[in-house]
């Protein structure tokens, strides 16, 4: 390719609209890579912390001791720790107010659902941006391409004899917009699918733990009710 058709020359000589389209797509690509990097690190840490806490929880018989250690780090809790702390904190508060096992268990489950919902918001944050970039970038690039080709053919109307050499640079400038659109869209789509799968796996772990922990709390609530009934007898 000669100097006149170099990438830098084509971008520099493109029309203002096409240049704006290219700039938008490049910004979208940079931002999407920033989101990909940030979410990948976030999910990696969350999965590691989830496995660590689950191992600690199921290998320790004293839930109160776990809660004491977790509560001491309340400002630095990970996702699963927050769910555990919310459920057991509500369990402790309700058992001081009532001996009704169903009320205690329902309150604890409700607290864990709220905590899980907050974790879900944090996990899914910015994933929609990747979906948006992946779905719209090719069309934005196509708009720049159509605009550039339209300008190229419009310019041909002012010459007596049109040749391929005259129209080729304009078409090449326009096609760069489509190429940049695909460059932004393809990684966004690939990593959106991967990160969405990782998010679903993480949320499933949270839901599974909440159900298992609810079973543990149910046994404790039943024991408390039994002790209360024995005391009254």
pLDDT at 60: 77
The model's pLDDT over 48-95, given as tens digits with 9 standing for 90+, comes to: 999 998 888 888 777 888 888 888 877 778 888 999 999 998 988 888
3-state secondary structure 110-176: HHHHHHHHHHHHHHHCCHHHHHHHHHHHHHHHHHHHHHHHHHHHHHHCCCCCCCHHHHHHHHHHHHH
Q: Residue 233, Cβ neighbours under 10 Å: how many?
A: 5
As a whole number of angstroms, the distance between CA 229 and CA 219 comes to: 15
pLDDT at 189: 95
pLDDT at 3: 41
Across the range 197-215, mean pLDDT stands at 92
Residue 198 has pLDDT above 60, yes or no: yes
As a whole number of angstroms, the distance between CA 9 and CA 186 comes to: 25
Greater confidence, 41 or 64? 41
Strand (E) or helix (H) holding 48: helix 16-59
pLDDT at 2: 45
pLDDT at 33: 95
Largest interatomic CA distance in the chain: 109
The model's pLDDT over 6-29, given as tens digits with 9 standing for 90+, comes to: 666 667 767 788 888 889 999 999
pLDDT at 222: 77
């Amino acid at each position: 390719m000669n100097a006149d058709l170099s990438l830098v020359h084509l971008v520099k000589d493109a029309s203002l609209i096409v240049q704006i389209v290219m700039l938008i797509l490049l910004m979208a690509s940079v931002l999407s890579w920033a989101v990909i990097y940030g979410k990948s690190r976030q999910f990696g840490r969350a999965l590691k912390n989830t496995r660590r806490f689950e191992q600690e929880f199921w290998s320790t018989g004293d839930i109160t001791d776990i809660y004491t250690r977790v509560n001491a780090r309340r400002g630095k809790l990970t996702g699963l720790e927050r769910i555990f702390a919310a459920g057991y904190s509500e369990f402790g508060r309700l058992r001081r107010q009532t001996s009704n096992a169903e009320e205690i268990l329902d309150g604890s489950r409700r607290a864990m659902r709220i905590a899980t919902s907050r974790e879900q918001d944090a996990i899914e944050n910015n994933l929609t941006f990747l979906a948006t970039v992946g779905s719209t970038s090719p069309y934005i690039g196509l708009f720049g391409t159509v605009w550039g080709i339209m300008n190229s053919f419009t310019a041909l109307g002012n010459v007596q004899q049109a040749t391929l050499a005259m129209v080729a640079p304009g078409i090449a400038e326009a096609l760069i917009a489509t190429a940049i659109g695909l460059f932004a869209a393809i990684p966004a789509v690939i990593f959106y699918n991967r990160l969405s799968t990782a998010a679903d796996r993480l949320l499933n772990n949270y839901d599974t733990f909440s159900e298992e922990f609810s079973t543990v709390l149910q046994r404790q609530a039943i024991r408390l009710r039994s002790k209360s009934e024995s005391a009254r007898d």
